[in-house]
Structure 1
Amino acid sequence: MRIEDMTWPEIRDAVRAGRSTILIPIGGTEQSGPYIAVGKHDVRAGVISTRIARTLGNALVAPVIAYVPEGSYAPPSSHMRFPGTITVPDDVFEKTLVAAANSFKVHGFTRIVFLGDHGGYQADVRKVVAQLNREWAGGTARALVPETYYRTSSDGFNAILRAKGFRDDEIGTHAGLADASLQLAVAPSMVRTEAMQGAPKPGVADGVYGGDPRKATAALGQLGIDAIVSNTVAAIRQAQ
């Protein structure tokens, strides 16, 4: 499924055999509180994209884009206030997406699908998709950004957690119950579970924006992962 694990003849043959959709996972290297590793979005986007590709049956997965806008570094703002976060300017990020998409178009992919796991650059991705589709008008290639991917991972998963009895102040918006649960479902070694459960509730000074990661479980996270996959697959199929 992942082109980084394939040789070029294998990729060529896969496209010729009908795997003409390429999923471009977009992550982000950022702090996620004291208990979740900074590669959270990168790993999560890669795992979920692979599941989506497997379900679609006609898709391959590109390498994860890990360098994304995360705030200013002069002076440091947003997540850049915490060590390990990496940021790039919006225009550099957008040009990277455009170049990647055009690269895949050259090699015969006709559906280039961007799957962004982080909320901060969603507008940038939409801008790029609109630009590409203008430039490709009249051809067979098309760029897509199924917005249900991010909506399900944020508002959609929050609704699932509320239905399980959790409050918004437990769920959080960054590095709280929701984030930690999703990560436990895809990469439990990236969550410092023992240290987290024995510590006081973390707050903004720790990089946790609302919520309580100590209540996270892989079972809760799996509910969110399943919803993200099913909703995104449906959106991509409908767009085709």
Structure 2
Amino acid sequence: MRPARFIPFAAALAVLAVPAALAAQSAPPVFIDELTWTEIRDRQQAGTRSVIIGTAGQEQKGPHMVDGEHKYVLEHTTVRIARTLGDALVAPVITYVPEGSWDPPRGHMTKPGTITLPEDRFVELLLHAGRSLKAGGFTQVIYIGDSGGNQRGMQKAAEQLNSEWAGSARALFIGDYYTKAGEAMRVMLRGRGFTDEDIGSHAGMLDTSELLYVNPRLVRKDRLARNGGAPDSGVNGDPTKASAELGAELLTIKIDHALAQIRALRAGGAK
């Protein structure tokens, strides 16, 4: 339930957080690093044979957000996806992804704290993670990424594993979580009267709203400024217009797109 618009910001955050907190307390864990091996085995024997591998960039997010923003968002969304599917667990989020060059540093790599992995090493990491989980009894590996630079690598890994496994298991690349959902979120915000300059392309309204909903303590509210407040801030857009309420809606769009694609692929739909 979303709060009424007149509720003060702090109160709105509290209202939004209550359902999620209660659900987390009552639902069994879905992260495999929170389960024993025998608990994982028992879940598999009961029909849980899918596992989600999430990938999230460790990258600068301006002066107002922590560098792990993508990870915190993806931990939230993958849990909701797994619980909605009802037959999936979640692997630890992979945060070492392609972020560009370090020699010379370019893009996000010019800011402290960003970590990059070459594309070929990233694909190898995904392949070995998928093979490991298959060896442990999972028959479907689902790749979902919350940042742009890792989409192509996940698709490559899924295609290679499907070729290797030849029907004994399956890898799904869920690109709609990032691409189609990203455009749908922008359409929604434009419909609310926000401009493309407001929305921005990095660490603006989208990312900030999502983190305000998932973990508001990781947003430095005193550092919020349009375009980060400085030419080299690493921010494009206006995070001062972000809100936890918008974040809840944006994350639902991502989750819904992921679930729709997973269900279509499971049913034999087009990739």
After superposing the two structures, state which structure 1 stretch, 166-175 or 188-197, moved more.
Answer: 188-197
Q: Which of the numbers 235, 259, 262 marks the counterpart of 1:236?
A: 262
Q: Which amino acid aligns with 1:235?
A: Q
Deviation at 1:204, TM superposition (A): 4.8
What corresponds to 1:181 in structure 2? 209
2: CA distance, partners of 1:204 / 1:68:
26
Deviation at 1:122, TM superposition (A): 0.9
Q: Which runs of 4+ in 1 moved over 2 A?
A: 199-204
TM-score (norm 1): 0.95
Q: Deviations over 1:153-212 (max 9, x none)?
A: 422211111111100000001001111111111111111113316x88535510012x10
Structure 2 contact 228–235 (Cα < 8 Å) conserved: no
What corresponds to 1:45 in structure 2? 74
2: CA distance, partners of 1:187 / 1:158:
22
What corresponds to 2:158 in structure 1? 129
Q: Which of the numbers 46, 54, 60 marks the counterpart of 2:83?
A: 54
- The answer as to 2:37 corresponding to 1:11 is no
Sequence identity percentage: 44
Aligned length: 237
- The answer as to 2:141 corresponding to 1:112 is yes
Q: Which of the numbers 207, 211, 214 marks the counterpart of 2:240?
A: 214
| 3-state SS of 1:206 partner | coil
| 3-state SS of 2:137 partner | coil
Structure 1: gaps (5+ residues): none
2: CA distance, partners of 1:98 / 1:222:
32
2: CA distance, partners of 1:216 / 1:224:
11
Deviation at 1:140, TM superposition (A): 2.6
After superposing the two structures, state which structure 1 stretch, 94-103 or 151-160, moved more.
Answer: 151-160
What corresponds to 2:55 in structure 1? 26
TM-score (norm 2): 0.84
Structure 2 contact 50–89 (Cα < 8 Å) conserved: yes
1: CA distance, partners of 2:71 / 2:35:
20
1: CA distance, partners of 2:150 / 2:89:
23
What corresponds to 2:100 in structure 1? 71
2: CA distance, partners of 1:203 / 1:163:
28
Structure 1 contact 201–214 (Cα < 8 Å) conserved: no
Q: Deviations over 1:74-132 (max 9, x none)?
A: 11111000011011111111100000000111111111000110001211111111111
| 3-state SS of 2:52 partner | strand
Deviation at 1:214, TM superposition (A): 0.8
Structure 1 contact 129–143 (Cα < 8 Å) conserved: yes
Q: What do you get for the CA RMSD once the two structures are aligned?
A: 1.4
Deviation at 1:65, TM superposition (A): 0.1
What corresponds to 1:97 in structure 2? 126
Q: Which of the numbers 186, 192, 195 marks the counterpart of 1:158?
A: 186
